[in-house]
Amino acid sequence: MTNEEMEMITVEIIAYAGDARSKYMESLAAANNADYDKAEKLILEGNDLITEAHNTQTKVLQMEASGEKIKVNFLTVHAQDHLMTVMLLRDLVKNFINLYKKTN
């Protein structure tokens, strides 16, 4: 894999994760306004984006597992960090939505 190909893959992961983050934050705002249907819809949209990011990440892992040398650089680390942080955000937002439902 060329450096440019790896860069494109990492940017793709960051983009999907970033879009998912936006959906989760919108979901939290909707729940804060007691619009739980919208909140749930946005969570599902974010989940779809996380799945896309994870699928892209899995391709790289499979390539490395099959023996291909994968060059890891700061952008690659950033992509992984971004994805994992957004997955944590998803879990926290879902818990906050449940709390909103209990208090409203």
**Which residues are marked as active site?**
78
* Residue range(s) defining the domain that contains residue 75: 3-103
DSSP code of residue 70: -
Asked whether the beta carbons of 28 and 39 are under 8 A apart, the reply is yes
pLDDT tens across 18-39, in order? 999 999 999 999 999 999 999 9
User: What is the H or E stretch that residue 72 is in?
Assistant: none
CATH (domain of 94)? 1.20.58.80
Q: What whole-number distance in Å separates Cα of residue 13 and Cα of residue 57?
A: 7
Tokens linked to 90: 């998803």
92: region left, alpha or beta (phi > 0 left; psi from -120 to 50 alpha): alpha
Domain count, the chain: 1
- What integer is the mean pLDDT of 42-64? 95
Average pLDDT, the chain: 94
